[in-house]
Amino acid sequence: MADHAVIVGAGVIGLATACRLARDGLAVTVVDAARDGAAGASVHNAGWIVPIMSTPVPAPGMLGKALRWMARRDSPLYVRPSPRPEHVRFMLGMLRHCNPRDFAYGVEALTSLNEHTLRLFDEYEKDGIHFEQHRTGQLLVFTTRHTMDEYRAATAPMERIGHTAVPLTGDELRDLEPALGRQVLTGLHCPQERHVDPTSLVRGLELRCRELGVRFLRDSRVTGIHSRSHTVTSVVAGGEEVHGDLFVLAAGVHTGRLSRLAGHPLPIQPGKGYGFDDTSGSVTLRHSVYLGEAKVAVTPLADRLRFAGTMEFGSSDATIDRHRLRGIAHSAHAYLPEFPLESRPRGWTGLRPMTPDGLPVIGPLPGRENVLVASGHSMLGVTLAPVTAEIIAAEVAGDRQQAEMARTARPFSPRRFASQRGRTTEDD
């Protein structure tokens, strides 16, 4: 077993993994390019803990929707035209997975992965990790029956892991959340789902890591990886050579580039999301609410209401397209009429680490004996952080013989991209 793990990336995935490995008694160093923890996707997201949404992004019909929305600058899904070969290859790869068979396979794999998610979040609290967690459930609300039927079918497989979606009428939804407008016709109540303040989760994990003796190297971008034969010996970060006997690549959208430096490029590309926080108090909610047709997430936190949405491919920086932000604000007003239409929110963006098949990449990097990958979590990185850490810990401890864990982890192995070796690259 390894003694010293070096984890590249202090987002929710890297921190959850660092915490878990430190609890197992390893010396852990976390290396991150950012000066502090307030920048990445792990703080810029909706904060939902949602096993009920165990569905991969590539889905039958997704391409048709993307094409229809291409002309609208405020649409929830957008493929930015880009001649970059890795972007074109990635989109074609994703397109190949937009079929019923691959979608069903992805749903099954993600549902199994999420089986113990709620228990693992309970254990975080028992372990003394302080973060803002709400157990108030979720509402998926729709203005058309057709969309409701799609989501009802999509959420049915999660019943086997104890996550239910109960159909409600518009009036029943308004009994639960009076702020919902009259045009909300129907919806689903998902009582088991939770939400967190993602910033508090990242802070809580980092604090716990520090209590467990984890060393942090901030403002230290990894720019080189040194190997001897099939073993990585060190990473070069901020001019310093950081040695270890195990390396975990958890650098979000940059994991593809790092995996290339380590000798095996993985196809991880950004899916840009937008959001803003409203502190006006114009709308009060108890549940997290998904505005179904608009694909907007609304999260009631202790001191604000968070709105998040949009999936934009082909864009890898933090620039804000005002049209997309306005699209989210308009949708908010359409479903929650007390949210002011003239609202001009200050926004933020987050880059989701996406894979062509919509499944995370968790496990050993092919050809490198001591490198593990934990990335590609797409829309579910917060939800899947604790179980990802469990899989990495089992891998490090050589516990893969635990039949259930091995079976659960298999669909996420980086080996599934082995045949694409040399053809896949990262975004920048």
Residues that bind ligand FAD (CB under 6 A): 8-14, 31-34, 40-42, 44-48, 221-222, 250-252, 254, 258, 273, 275, 297, 308, 350, 352-353, 375, 377-383
Nearer to ligand FAD, 336 or 351 (CB): 351
Least distance CB 121 / ligand FAD (angstroms): 11
Minimum Å gap between C-beta 334 and ligand FAD is: 19
Between residues 32 and 102, which has the closer beta carbon with respect to ligand FAD?
32
- What is the smallest separation between the CB atom of 112 and ligand FAD, expressed in angstroms? 17
227: β partners: 232
- Dihedral over alpha carbons 134, 137, 141, 146 (to 10 degrees): 140
40 or 170: whose CB is closer to ligand FAD?
A: 40
Which amino acid belongs to residue 1? Answer: M
DSSP SS3 for 96:
helix
Q: How far apart are CA 343 and CA 73, in angstroms?
A: 18
Euclidean distance between CA atoms 325 and 277, whole angstroms: 11
| Segment holding 217, helix H or strand E | strand 215-217
Q: Tell the smallest beta-carbon distance from residue 310 to ligand FAD (Å).
A: 7
Closer by beta carbon to ligand FAD, 386 or else 411 = 386
User: Could you tell me the smallest distance in angstroms from the CB atom of residue 281 to ligand FAD?
Assistant: 22
* Residue among 87 and 254 whose Cβ is closer to ligand FAD: 254
Q: How far is the CB of 196 from ligand FAD (least distance, A)?
A: 9
10 Å CB burial of residue 61 (0-12, 13-18, 19+) is: exposed
Query: Which residues have C-beta within 8 Å of that of residue 51, sequence separation ≥ 6?
Result: 111, 114, 115, 117, 118, 158, 161, 163, 192, 193, 383
Return the bridge partners of 226, or none.
234
Minimum CB–partner distance for residue 162 and ligand FAD (Å)? 18
Measured from the CB atom, the residue of 370 and 383 that comes closer to ligand FAD is 383
Nearest-approach distance from CB 89 to ligand FAD, in angstroms: 21
Residue whose CB is less far from ligand FAD, 168 or 268: 268
Give the shortest CB-383-to-ligand FAD separation in angstroms.
Answer: 4
- Of the pair 251, 262, the CB lying nearest ligand FAD is at 251
Helix 117-126 to helix 381-396 angle, to the nearest 10 degrees? 80
Q: What is the spatial distance between Cα 351 and Cα 337, in angstroms, rounded to a whole number?
A: 29
- Distance CA(298)–CA(292), nearest Å, equals 11
Tell me if 259 sits within 8 A of 15, measured CB to CB: no
Please say whether the beta carbons of 26 and 2 come within 8 A. Answer: yes
- Could you list the beta-strand ranges (E) of 258-366: 269-278, 288-291, 296-300, 305-313, 347-354, 361-364
Strands (E), 355-422: 361-364, 371-375
Please tell me the distance from the alpha carbon of residue 382 to that of residue 117, in angstroms, as a whole number: 10
The H or E element spanning position 224 is: strand 222-228
CB 296, min distance to ligand FAD, A: 10
Separation between Cα atoms, residue 419 and residue 414, nearest integer Å: 11
Toward ligand FAD, which CB reaches closer, 174 or 221?
A: 221
Comparing CB distances to ligand FAD, the nearer of 52 and 297 is 297
Instruction: Identify which of 5, 4, 8, 37 has the alpha carbon closest to the alpha carbon of residue 220.
Output: 8
Task: Report the residue number, 170 or 272, with the smaller CB distance to ligand FAD.
Answer: 272
To ligand FAD, the closest distance from the beta carbon of 198 in angstroms equals: 7
